[in-house]
Amino acid sequence: MSIFSRFVAAGAYCFGGMKRFTLPAACWVWALVFLSVPSATRAASGSQVEISAGLAKLFGNITAFQATADVQSLDAAGQEVMRTPMTLLFLNGNMRVDVDMNRATGQSAHPGVLSGLKQAGLDRVVSLVRTDRKQVYVVFPNARSCISMPMSEADAAASDKSVKVEKKVLGNETVGNRACVKHRMVLKSAKGDVLLEATTWNANDMNGFPVQILLHSKERSTVLRFAKVEMKRPAAGEFEMPRGYTQYGSPEALLLAIGEKQKQASAPKQETPAGRGAAPPKSGTTPARR
C-alpha cells in the first residue's frame, strides 16, 4: 500500500466521525499527501502522481541548488485540481520540500480542508528525502511532530545508481523568457521496469536546469515550474530532522495521535458540583459573607 493510501485509510479511521471537519477526512488527508509528501511513490491505482525520489534523476549533473516552484496538479482532462507554491533545496540527490498548505488554491483547496489541516497542525509540511539513506522524513513544525520511515521499494529503486535514464529531444520551446530544449525522460530499473516518466524543459542559459517538469500518470499529472533558482549549496543541516519533535514511525501512528488529541479537546468537561468538599452550612444559619 502506498503512503497516500495509508494516510487516507488512517485519516478516515481517526477523523471520520468528527463533526468539526466539514469535509470527509479522506479529502483533507488527500490534499496533504498529494502536495506535501515527496517520499511516496504512485498510488497502487496509478492515478496519483507524487514528487518521488526519482525526481532527483531529472536534474542530471546538477548537484546543488535552491529554488522556489509552483506545483500544479491536473486531472486527466488537463483541468487544475490544486496548486501551491513550494521551496525545494537539493544537495547530492537529497531533497527538502517546504509547503504551506494555507497558500494552496484550486478545487481541492476547500476552506474546510485547509481549516482542518491548520487545526491539526498539519498545514505546514517539510519533507526530507534522503536518497543516501533510503529514508524519508516528513516534518510538521506546527504540530512539533515528524514521521520517519524507509523509502518504498519503488522510490528506493528510482534513486539507485543503476537506474537508466532515457532522454529524447522533442524540440525547442520557450518557458517564460528562457529558451529551452524539451525532453522526454524515462527512468528504468536495471530490470527494465519503468519507474518514472516525465517531460522536462531544460534552459540553455542555466546549464540545462529543468525550469519546468511535467510528471506523467494515467489519470493525473503534476507540473513543477521553477523560479528564483540559485545554484547555491544548501547547508547539510537543512536535510536533518529537527530535535525535540515527537517522532512517529508511520502516517497511521501520527494521525491516530492527532485523532486522540482532537477527541480529548472536543469531549465535554466534567464540572465539579457546587459545594463538593465543603461542609454544608448548619440548618437555620446564614453562611458568612466574605
pLDDT of residue 282: 52
In angstroms, rounded to a whole number, what is the distance separating the alpha carbons of residues 62 and 42?
25
In a domain, residue 161? The reply is yes
pLDDT tens-place values along the chain, 290 residues long: 444 444 444 444 444 444 343 333 333 344 444 434 443 323 222 223 356 778 999 999 999 999 999 999 888 888 888 888 999 999 999 999 999 888 888 877 777 777 877 888 888 999 999 999 999 999 999 999 999 989 888 888 888 888 899 999 999 999 999 999 999 999 998 889 898 899 999 999 999 999 999 998 777 889 999 999 999 999 999 999 999 999 998 888 888 888 887 778 777 776 655 555 555 545 444 444 44
The domain that holds 40 is classified in CATH as: 2.50.20.10
| 44 Cβ contact partners less than 8 Å away, ≥ 6 residues apart | 1, 2, 5
In a domain, residue 153? The reply is yes
pLDDT of residue 237: 96
In a domain, residue 234? The reply is yes
Q: Which residues span the domain enclosing 213?
A: 3-266
pLDDT digits (tens, 9 = 90+) for 197-235: 999 999 999 999 999 999 987 778 899 999 999 999 999
In angstroms, rounded to a whole number, what is the distance separating the alpha carbons of residues 231 and 157?
27
In a domain, residue 175? The reply is yes
* Domains in the chain, number: 1
In a domain, residue 111? The reply is yes
In a domain, residue 137? The reply is yes
